[in-house]
């Protein structure tokens, strides 16, 4: 390996030991290092970083900023070990590296349409994999990566428990499942085992070849299914994404709590633990002020005037 590639391996190992997954940044940086090797560059320079980040030339500038943002922390790390390293200035391509997308909150009918589109896939195993994966995301609010990483021992269908191991920041948790979810997972497992009785991977969800699902392929398939299901962007900033199933689950949970008259503030730490957050502050990222949610919150405030500031 080149010195730059060795440095990248050390950098990623250090950051990951601190709890950062760095899945996309790791892929981007591997591409940048390959670009630098072809150019014969021993380290990062601003000119080199810009040349790589702004490709392809017809890409969205937000994509360029995302690529450059992946390089900057790596360059800061390199500056301590490789003389001549330059750290590209922040804001060099204008604007922040990324902006928060407006969550696409799925209605029940839209999730049904997604499931129907998945069920129309020609391969029975692939159809069942897509349907079960989407359904599990919708009813648990799990991250897509967490579902992909599930192994068979993590799905205790007898006890009705999912174990999510070493997720974001190295945290693990268990989720109790509803009887209908257990039945859906058991049905998928039976079909999967008929197609792949001796798989080479312990993964719960399998591809057609019997391997673990690949993150980018799951995202690509989900985009295709949203199109087949007739789901369209609600605005340039609000497009149906697989991660928005997590947003939808969070908002739906709060709506149900307001409707059943429960103490929402007292229950928020439970929701945070369920989602794998250290505290409710992280959960607020997923709370979107929908008209219905705001109306219920306002109604609750009117019912308890003594709680007003």
Torsion sign over Cα 168, 169, 172, 176:
negative
Q: What pLDDT score was predicted for residue 90?
A: 84
Neighbours of 297 (CB within 10 A): 14
How many angstroms separate the first and last alpha carbons of the chain?
A: 62
DSSP 3-state of 86: coil
pLDDT score, position 293: 61
pLDDT for res 111: 97
Q: Determine phi and psi for 174, rounding to 5 degrees.
A: -120, 140
Task: Compute CA distances 50 → 9, 99, 135, 267, whole Å.
Answer: 22, 20, 41, 47
Compute the half-sphere exposure of residue 111: CA atoms within 13 Å on the CB side of its CA.
Answer: 19
- State residue 3's pLDDT score: 87
Predicted confidence at residue 7, as pLDDT, reads 93
Show which residues are catalytic: 143, 168, 243, 246, 277, 286
pLDDT, residue 109, reads 96
- Which among 301, 132, 100, 103 has a CA at the least distance from the CA of 205? 132
Reduced to 3 states (helix: H, G, I; strand: E, B; else coil), residue 175 is strand
| Helix (H/G/I), strand (E/B), else coil: 238 | strand
In sequence order, what are the residues at sequence separation of 6 or more whose Cβ sits closer than 8 angstroms to the Cβ of residue 134? 111, 114, 115, 118, 222, 225, 245
Q: What pLDDT score does 231 carry?
A: 97
Instruction: Give the count of beta carbons closer than 10 Å to the beta carbon of residue 179.
Output: 8
Looking at residue 35, its pLDDT comes to 95
CB count in 10 Å sphere of residue 7: 20
pLDDT at position 308, please? 47
Q: Retrieve residue 176's tokens.
A: 């109790």
Rounded to an integer, what distance in angstroms lies between the CA atom of residue 167 and that of residue 173?
9
pLDDT tens for the chain, 309 residues long, are 468 999 999 999 998 887 777 888 999 999 999 999 999 999 999 999 999 999 888 777 878 888 999 999 999 999 998 999 999 998 888 765 556 678 999 999 999 999 999 999 999 999 999 999 999 999 999 999 999 999 999 999 999 999 998 776 667 899 999 999 999 999 999 999 999 999 989 999 999 999 999 988 999 999 999 999 999 999 878 899 999 999 999 989 988 888 888 787 788 888 888 888 877 777 777 776 565 666 666 666 566 555 544
- Give the closest residue to 275 by CA, choosing from 160, 135, 182, 143: 143
Listed residue (26, 275, 246, 276) closest to 170, CA to CA: 276
98 neighbors 24 (Cβ within 8 angstroms): no
Structure tokens at 212: 């673990």
Q: Are the C-beta atoms of 121 and 130 separated by less than 8 Å?
A: yes
pTM for this prediction: 0.71
């Amino acid at each position: 390996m080149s010195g730059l590639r060795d440095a990248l391996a050390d950098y990623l190992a250090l950051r990951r030991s601190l709890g950062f997954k760095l899945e996309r940044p790791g892929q981007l940086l591997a591409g940048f290092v390959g670009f630098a090797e072809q150019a014969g560059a021993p380290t990062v320079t601003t000119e080199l970083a810009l040349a790589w980040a702004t490709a392809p030339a017809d890409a969205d500038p937000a994509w360029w900023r995302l690529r450059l943002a992946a390089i900057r922390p790596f360059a800061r790390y390199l500056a301590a070990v490789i003389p001549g390293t330059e750290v590209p200035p922040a804001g060099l391509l204008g604007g922040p590296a990324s902006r928060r997308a407006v969550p696409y909150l799925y209605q029940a009918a839209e999730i049904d349409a997604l499931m129907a589109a998945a069920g129309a896939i020609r391969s029975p195993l692939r159809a069942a994999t897509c349907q079960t994966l989407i359904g599990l995301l919708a009813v648990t609010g799990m991250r897509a990566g967490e579902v992909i990483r599930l192994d068979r021992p993590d799905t205790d269908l007898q006890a009705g428990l999912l174990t999510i191991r070493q997720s974001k920041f190295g945290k693990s948790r268990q989720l109790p499942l509803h009887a209908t979810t257990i039945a859906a997972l058991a049905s998928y497992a039976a079909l999967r085992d008929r197609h792949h009785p001796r798989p080479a991977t312990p993964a719960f969800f399998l591809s057609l070849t019997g391997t673990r699902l690949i993150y980018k392929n799951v995202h690509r398939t989900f985009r295709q299914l949203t199109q087949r299901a007739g789901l369209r962007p609600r605005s340039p900033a609000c497009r149906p994404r697989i991660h928005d199933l997590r947003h939808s689950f969070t908002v739906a949970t709060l709506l149900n709590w307001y409707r059943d008259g429960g103490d929402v503030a007292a229950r928020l730490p439970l929701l945070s633990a369920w989602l794998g957050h250290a505290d409710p502050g992280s959960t607020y990222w997923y709370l979107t002020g929908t008209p219905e949610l705001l109306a219920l919150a306002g109604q609750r405030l009117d019912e308890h005037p003594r709680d007003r500031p």
